[in-house]
Chains A and B, each alone.
Chain A
Amino acid sequence: MRFRELVLSCLSWLACLTVTLGVGSLIAFLVVRGYSAIDARLFFGTTPAWDAILAIKPVWNGIWPAMAGTLSLLALTMLFVIVPGVSSGVYLACFASHREREYIGECVDVLAGIPSIVMGLFGLELIIVLRRTLFPTGTTCLLLAAFCLAILVLPTLITATRSSIEALPHHLTVTANALGMSKTQTVRHLLIPAAGSGILGGVILSMGRAMEDTAVIMLTGAVANAGLPAGLGAKFEALPFKIYYTAAQYTSQDELTRGFGTALLLLIMSWTVILTAKIFQKRMARRWQGGM
């Protein structure tokens, strides 16, 4: 009789301790080893900062090229994903019939469940097929990586947009109807602005997901040494790939320390982005909680 409660309590406390200690020690270890490495030298190596940023001189011992690669990859991914993602979410929340909602919702869920390494493999196969047919000179590159990443984070954005519109109180729609607004007017002038903060949160969240993903880019064009990204059709460096590469192939203590710095930097960036997204989503939820 008492046994079940005892087991559950023990399990809970044990789980709480294990998770906290496990993650705590990993993060503490990373901070201790990586904290001292984060400075201007980590970014630019021995090259003067402005020369590196303006691409006058190449950076050899720094992560500036990887940083620039990640930023351009993110910009490109967002360019691909924002319009389809947000508009599909809006459509699902406001216009779709019951059957469409079921069907497209199912597609979004399945797409969200596809492992990122399989998405990378898709990119690789895509470029092999393109080489055989349309672009004989094509190769894995920034554009391809951004395209595959965009497909990968599309479900995140759709779900976030859809749920922030669906979370709006129903009386908004009713009021709009009473005022004689058409459905399109309601959505455009009332629902989307009202859910704006939540949608923005979704966009930032999908950016975070795109930033941290490694499996896609390592099959679609990320390399260890490429310098600054040279164009859409060129190979590129990226922070997560740099970390992965360092863990396996580091040759000197200096390089390892840089790896720790890079990992800590990526962690901080990822935390900043995703917590910002959470704040935006929370703010919207709070605003509409009481239903005015």
Chain B
Amino acid sequence: MTRQKSHVVDERTRANSSFLIPNSSFLLRATALSVSAILGTVIAFIVISGVDALIKGRGLSLFGAVWNSNAGHFGILTMIQASILLAISSLCVGWCLSLGCCCVMNGLAPSFVANFLNLILTLMTAIPTVVYGFAAVFLLVPIVREALGGTGFCWLTASMILALQGVPTMTFIMDGAVRTITAETELTASALGMTRAQHLSRIVLPIARKSLISAAILGLGRAVGDALIPTMLAGNAIRFVKTPLDSMRTLTAHISLVLSSDIGGGEHLSLLLAGALLLTFCAVVSLISRRMMRRSN
């Protein structure tokens, strides 16, 4: 009833103000539309450079598996593989951790634990990526080196830290949906004699499925796009990865490492192609997760 009424008022305000908009908010509108212009410029710039790189680099086998700058091979296939592997492995771990944290914050644990975890996660959102990387280089890398051998700069180390770094974002997205649904179904569930764990696992999480998936998709975009953690922790060797202890170079790490001065050379072209791939992937990911979020609301 009230909702209907406010809707009516809303329509009226809009009708009332519609003839005022053109002159009074013209500047605001221009700035708002310029956001899409900025986005368009960035995308056009990166994508056009990427396509241009593909055309110019026909002889350099940019999509190939071989990287040998002396022989003129600048293949980024190994980096694509590394990016995909790192993102998926860290997402699997990170998503499970986030789901657990989200349940802890929604009644599976005593409230002081929930509040404590909430505080920890809030603090985690404010830890700069470079600080994660720095601490891990001197704490986690030696541990991995001692325990499992190798140099310690490997897929395993990077995916552990990347998983940890992605937890707060995903948890807060899940928490938003789970909290609403829990509040709505709480009375019914307790009337049926369900425990909190039953309530969460049988009712809330199935209903919140869409949000859980869109948190995963958003997390995937973040994991693919992160540059600092792979650069600092994954070792950056250009080769196909076979075991978790192998050193790897992701697309993002490739961009941050190659500061070649030869503009238009093979290395530079491979950067542009890597950038275009990353941008396309992340844009698609944002669009998909936006659609899903909207539908779940």
Q: Which residues of A contact B (CB under 8 A)?
A: 4-5, 8-9, 11-16, 18-20, 22-27, 29-30, 33, 83-84, 87-88, 90-92, 94-96, 100, 103-104, 106-122, 125-126, 128, 151, 154, 158, 170, 173-174, 177, 182-184, 208, 211-215, 218-219, 240, 243-244, 246-248, 259-260, 263, 266-267, 270-271, 273-275, 278
Contact = CB atoms under 8 A, between A and B. Distances in A.
Residue of B127, B135, B202 ringed by the most chain A CB atoms within 10 A? B135
Given A174-B9, A244-B130, A26 B139 contact: yes
A8 B197 contact: yes
Nearest to B200: A8
Contacts of A214: 128-130, 227-228
Contact of B283 (A110, A263, A275): A110
A136 B111 CA distance: 62
Contacts of B122: 275, 278
Contact of A118 (B103, B117, B282): B282
A248 B232 contact: yes
Given A11-B100, A30-B131, A91-B29, A112 B286 contact: yes
A114 B33 contact: no
Interface stretch (B13-21, B144-152, B184-192): B13-21
Contact of A9 (B20, B108, B202): B108
Shortest beta-carbon contacts, A-B, top 10 = A15-B100, A115-B225, A113-B286, A183-B17, A212-B128, A274-B126, A117-B227, A91-B28, A91-B32, A184-B24
A113 to B, nearest CB: 3
B266 interface: no
Given A109-B290, A113-B285, A244-B228, A177 B28 contact: no
A11 B117 contact: no
A112 B35 CA distance: 11
B25 A16 contact: no
29 contacts: A16-B100, A16-B113, A16-B117, A19-B97, A19-B120, A19-B167, A20-B116, A23-B124, A24-B120, A88-B34, A107-B35, A107-B36, A107-B39, A108-B35, A111-B39, A112-B286, A115-B224, A118-B225, A126-B45, A128-B263, A174-B13, A182-B20, A183-B21, A208-B126, A212-B131, A219-B259, A243-B134, A244-B231, A278-B122
Nearest to B21: A95
B57 interface: no
Contacts of A19: 97, 101, 117, 120-121, 124, 164, 167
Residue of B195, B202, B256 ringed by the most chain A CB atoms within 10 A? B256
Specify the main secondary structure of chain B where it touches its partner.
Answer: helix
Interface of B: 6, 9-10, 12-13, 16-17, 20-21, 24-25, 27-29, 31-36, 38-39, 42, 45-46, 49, 96-101, 103-104, 108-109, 113, 116-117, 120-140, 160, 164, 167, 195, 197-198, 200-202, 205, 221, 224-228, 231-232, 252, 255-256, 259, 263, 271-272, 275, 278-279, 282-283, 285-287, 290
A20 B263 CA distance: 46
A22 B164 contact: yes
A276 to B, nearest CB: 10
A209 B36 CA distance: 21
